[in-house]
Structure 1
């Protein structure tokens, strides 16, 4: 649209401005008209093509040429070129430079007409030349509006990038959560089954088929329990509410321990994500106890305080040879991540006193 307007102004100037030929004053008018036209047409060039240091120079040349054109021409609408050129100055240049060139245009054009330096001075009042600097205001306002639009677009793009980054972070967080849950289920289930199968394999050499059958039955029972745990994981991934105490008791029993759970404080229903993570912490701790301290005693304590819930799992040293393989190393890291996401605190380390001395303890405190 701007290009069409510029073309129309240039065409009008070439049609109306006189004299216009190849000799004398007509040649001078033609040269000035070409210079002014080039200066006005350059407004459509991309800004990288005209560096900031060059723009004031070519616009100043255009202003001087437009003022000279008004003085040299006998008739026509050459002053329109000055108006549009000054308007673009307000849009293209910084405020101080724009106002300076606008003042220069008013001064030169007004002086040409006031001093009657050209043959066409009697056709228009000198105040018309002074007003050639006024369109700079329109250019400045247009520049401000364009800046606001660009700022709005930049803000929208920034918000979109932030939303994409947030969505990606949410996806990665969810992947980490699923990875922890899958690890917990596999580690707990497969470690227990592997221990029973290795025990059965070792007992075959002794010829004690009764004990072999018992180990086989325990492994078979663990397989069934693993299916239940898989169902727990599916519910947890769907953020369904799990019965904390019942699930914890079943988990402890499936690990081969009975009557080792102590509950303190006033029992209450916890948010689903807290129950889920407490169960996973207990599951990982029981798995580690079975892997690294087979045959050792286990004690589990769940305390409901006013503003937090504390889960402690303590196991004694192993009482028989450790047969489980090396763990993945992700168990303790996963527990720390779970507690950190809930804003809680966790401690894990060896037991240095009491009946379980030489064993291991995990203690997680989850605020509500």
Structure 2
């Protein structure tokens, strides 16, 4: 089984100012904006008259260039234009559009006012956009009504009042853009949360696998090594009978290791194992027959509870064999309405203890397993009763 850690999500850099998100929005192609702007400029260059190098023609040409620049600037990303600069640029564009209405004799001088007003609604906040669009309508209507300049006399002043109307379309587009970006941000946040959750799940699973590997390898190999060392020591004495006995125990531990490996595979695959039968088989394979005592009504328990209780029992039995060889072991399994208690108690050693230092991971593994199930575990010497001087491990699992 292979686990792949998810790549942590990269945080998107914050926009330079509120509302100026550099990320593209689906359904809004900047090429369309550029195409419309260039089309308005091209139509104006063909139809707006007079244009020349002197007098009225020069004034029309200069205003036409200013209007074209103001219109084409709407293609600049918001992230590159501070709010104050955008307000100044759009305000000057509206003034230039109204002036072009008053100076040009013919042509599509009014188109610039319409398009700039529409972009005002898209680029600015609602309050500023409406105020600036109202100013555009009043300026253009005033220029046409009072004939401020030699403008086209055929254009009615009412037309000037309508130049600010496209601001509504711009506001609607801006609202849609913000809604889409909010949805994208929410989706990105959900994706980052899902990745973090997946990473946590992977790390938790790695911890579980590490505990299982420790239980199988460290315990089994330690027992086999202890028997082999004993056999080496007995060879020097010439007591072949005890050598055979130690060798047989080593073979038995190898077989037990294979069983433990099978249990580990079951645990990783989350196969269901019967708690009482598996616990009894484990205790008997460790050489302790009729050592399991059951109190209460046996019932089926979740696979996770079974696996963790078996691992705790395995750890306790291995420690008993290592630190109290020859001592009797008793296993109590108690079922109540609200909990399951596993108690493993061993008496003091009756044979010499082989010196060795434990890794300390066993008790840590027990605590981690019980914590995952919301239970408690305790381990310590037995200070009273017939097992006084021995050791006891007790795990209580709710449910």
Q: What is the TM-score when the length of structure 1 is the normalising length?
A: 0.94
> Tell me, what secondary structure is at the counterpart of 1:123?
coil
Question: Are residue 16 (structure 1) and residue 56 (structure 2) matched?
Answer: no
- Structure 1 stretches of at least 4 aligned residues deviating more than 4 Å after TM superposition: none
Q: CA deviation at 1:163?
A: 2.6
Q: CA deviation at 1:199?
A: 2.2
> Tell me, what secondary structure is at the counterpart of 2:395?
strand
Q: Which runs of 5+ in 2 are unaligned?
A: 1-31
State the partner residue of 1:336. Answer: 367
Q: CA deviation at 1:30?
A: 1.1
State the partner residue of 1:40. Answer: 71
1:10 and 1:37 in contact (8 A); partners too: yes
1:105 and 1:132 in contact (8 A); partners too: yes
State the partner residue of 1:88. Answer: 119
**C-alpha offsets along residues 245-304 of structure 1, whole Å, 9 cap, x if unaligned?**
122112112223233221111011222221111101100111122223333332211111
1:194 and 1:324 in contact (8 A); partners too: no
**C-alpha offsets along residues 106-163 of structure 1, whole Å, 9 cap, x if unaligned?**
1211111121213235312212111111111110100111111222222223323333
State the partner residue of 2:301. Answer: 270
State the partner residue of 1:231. Answer: 262
CA RMSD of aligned residues (A): 1.8
**CA distance in 2 between partners of 1:127 and 1:355 (Å):** 108
> Tell me, what secondary structure is at the counterpart of 1:76?
coil
Aligned partner of 1:54 among 74, 85, 100: 85
**CA distance in 1 between partners of 2:386 and 2:135 (Å):** 96
Q: What is the TM-score when the length of structure 2 is the normalising length?
A: 0.87
State the partner residue of 1:132. Answer: 163
**CA distance in 2 between partners of 1:37 and 1:182 (Å):** 73
Q: Which runs of 5+ in 1 are unaligned?
A: none
1:192 and 1:255 in contact (8 A); partners too: no
Q: How many residues align?
A: 368
1:293 and 1:322 in contact (8 A); partners too: yes
Q: Map 1:1-368 onto structure 2 (within 5 A).
A: 1-120=32-151, 122-323=153-354, 325-368=356-399
1:198 and 1:323 in contact (8 A); partners too: no
2:106 and 2:152 in contact (8 A); partners too: no
**C-alpha offsets along residues 283-338 of structure 1, whole Å, 9 cap, x if unaligned?**
01111222233333322111111122111122234444431532222212222221
Cα 1:5/1:26, change in 2 over 3 Å = same
